[in-house]
Chain A
């Protein structure tokens, strides 16, 4: 079942996973303000829907997203103008990080600029063999503004991040795999089905434990070790209040498959 949430963002429910697909083929999925807003709304809807356990954010075979909509940016004048016109929009991007349920990015073709930043804002990336990652903003006189210098550095390290941000160097899917940017590289024909498969395998786990682990891994990226360890410990303890903890451990000793209630 595919229905259209907004013309340029498609929303689909597949069992316990929600799939949001960016769909502006004529613009190689350039991330206009309208598209980003619609996408965040769709992801937020799935995050609140108790039937949905994990999400996939997909692009098209030729482009996950080729970058920001430069047409919308070229008339922005001055730093004050940029702040006024873009600060609110960019703060929307931060909402992706606040979503509780895991998001798998299904990336094929161009994931450049805002597209690369968007993929990195997700929790995992399944890439097609044709995927290309990069932050080429410097080549048009600017720099990343939605996490490209921050997330990329934390993922691939300073040296490579510098090279990518300062020269616009792009990574092939294979390179992205070797640098830890993506989880898996698959043939272009199956990037979406493989991303869904990964999302389904997450959806099959107990949701409270999944969400707590996601928040804890994110804390590892965002905070210093002592704070992260404390966060982890508290999250771990809290799961002992859950029905699924009791069911999981009981099933383990009874040598049967657990049945998760989500509580």
Chain B
């Protein structure tokens, strides 16, 4: 089943995996408001759609995303009441937050350059498969701005304080190999295999108990701001109490004892 929300964004669901493809290859998939809206709506639908087990975000052509569409931005900037802060609050921040709050695996399939807001969106995904030729770029400093859409939150946590600042201050591209060694991405493969690799990961996740995946994502996100180990352990105890009462838990245990693959239902 293939449906196209707009030409700029392709939406396709296959074997329980929703694939969102940024599709403006001629301008390196620069993000327009229409694309952002399309992603947000698709993710919102995916949240309550039980047939969607995982989501992949990828792009057409040689780049993943060059960032916000500056032409589009310029037009809106011409309006007197335009505010860069509100632009983030209204459009970019909600999307990044939505990806992290969505209780299903979101996989970034990074086929090429990820710059600016594109890099922020990719960093918000849960697992990342990256093309060998892909690079990450944050050139905000060159136009006198700070990296945004959660970049200054995520990057120090993935890459450490000094690496994050080096990347943001000097605005030098980070290669896929560096990104892998710094822990930004999970896997680096040749460009033509990025989507296939992401699909294999998604297929594997689709067989897992969805509630356990969801609550694990919730717990790992919470750990990024948990006040202490004790506090987080108490949280784990609460989640375990919830999951311990699910059918999927008993199915998992029974299947293990009967030495057969478990059939999880998300209940």
Contacts and interface: CB of A to CB of B under 8 A. Distances in A.
Contacts of B178: none
B213 to A, nearest CB: 15
B100 interface: no
Interface stretch (B4-12, B63-71, B166-174, B237-245): B237-245
B212 to A, nearest CB: 13
Which of A186, A189, A190, A193 has the largest number of chain B CB atoms within 10 A? A189
B262 interface: no
For chain A, the bracket of interface size reads under 10
A194 B239 CA distance: 12
For chain B, the bracket of interface size reads under 10
A187 B215 CA distance: 9
B217 interface: no
B218 interface: yes
Interface in B215-236: 215, 218, 235
Nearest to B235: A187
Contacts of A187: 215, 218, 235, 238-239, 242
| Majority secondary structure, A binding face | helix
Contacts of A193: 241
Contacts of A194: 238
B214 to A, nearest CB: 10
A187 B242 CA distance: 9
A106 to B, nearest CB: 14
Interface in B49-106: none
A205 B215 CA distance: 34
A43 B253 CA distance: 42
Interface string A191-221: 0011000000000000000000000000000
Interface string A172-191: 00000000000000110110
A190 B218 CA distance: 14
A168 to B, nearest CB: 16
Contacts of A189: 242
B162 to A, nearest CB: 29
Nearest to B243: A189
Contacts of B238: 186-187, 190, 194
Nearest to B211: A189
Nearest to A193: B241
A144 to B, nearest CB: 27
A16 B209 CA distance: 36
Contacts of B215: 187
Contacts of B242: 187, 189-190
Interface in B230-267: 235, 238-239, 241-242
Interface of B: 215, 218, 235, 238-239, 241-242
Interface of A: 186-187, 189-190, 193-194
12 contacts: A186-B238, A187-B215, A187-B218, A187-B235, A187-B238, A187-B239, A189-B242, A190-B238, A190-B241, A190-B242, A193-B241, A194-B238
Given A187-B215, A190-B241, 9 more contacts: A186-B238, A187-B235, A187-B239, A187-B242, A189-B242, A190-B238, A190-B242, A193-B241, A194-B238
5 A-B pairs with least C-beta separation: A189-B242, A190-B238, A190-B242, A186-B238, A187-B238
